[in-house]
Structure 1
């Protein structure tokens, strides 16, 4: 699982760099676009970075939890976190041209995926640390 998060994290950071270059060399220039379209490009660009860095950090520090249900929470959280950069790259490609009037389903799904994955990993880790403290006191 660590390797998967590392690969996804590095790939997403590279995607962040590519989307930055796409914005820099956009035709017409980004400054010529409406504020709404420019904001949507930039926000999706930053979301990709957030998803990439979260996966990268998790790839560096992920440790399998011994209990079955904690490992299940970790696995579900990892699935959400691996999916998030893909959804956000699609959001970068599709949503800015639609503007704010259309639903922004791709970015919503990507951000909710980041949130769900982070919370699942947090719960699995917090419960593990608390049970380790209780065992240490005994």
Structure 2
């Protein structure tokens, strides 16, 4: 699971770099872009970085629990984070290129990230009987 989390984190970091390059190429004159659209584009771009860093940290620190219910929570957390990553990348493209306006796609990506981190937090807690 550690390698899975690291791989997804690296892929998302590459997506962050690619989306940054796309914005630089497609919108070279930043001063003519309305400020609200510019803020929207940049914030959605940073959300991708935010999610990739969560995945990279999980890849470095993840330890599979010994209890089945905690393993299930960790798996659900990873699934929610995967859905969050898809929502955030999709939200960046949709809100930057398609509608050039706010939508709920990125918002749900943030909510899914929160849920995924919460599930990993609970699933990764070590109880006294687990301590060495």
Query: Which TM-score applies when normalising by structure 1?
Result: 0.85
In structure 1, stretches of 5+ residues that fail to align are none
Please state how far the C-alpha of 1:81 moved relative to its aligned partner: 1.2
**Cα gap change, 1:82/1:130 in structure 2, threshold over 3 Å: closer, same or farther?**
farther
In structure 2, stretches of 5+ residues that fail to align are none
CA contact (8 A) 1:9 1:52 kept: yes
Alignment match of 1:99 (pick from 98, 101, 104): 101
Please state how far the C-alpha of 1:25 moved relative to its aligned partner: 1.6
Higher-Rg structure is 1
Matches within 5 A, 1:1-138: 1-27=1-27, 29-96=29-96, 97-100=99-102, 104-126=103-125, 128-132=126-130
CA RMSD of superposed structures (Å)? 1.7
How many pairs are equivalent? 130
Q: Structure 2: how far apart are the matches of 1:16 and 1:77? A: 22
Please state how far the C-alpha of 1:88 moved relative to its aligned partner: 0.6
Query: Which TM-score applies when normalising by structure 2?
Result: 0.89
**Cα gap change, 1:25/1:130 in structure 2, threshold over 3 Å: closer, same or farther?**
farther
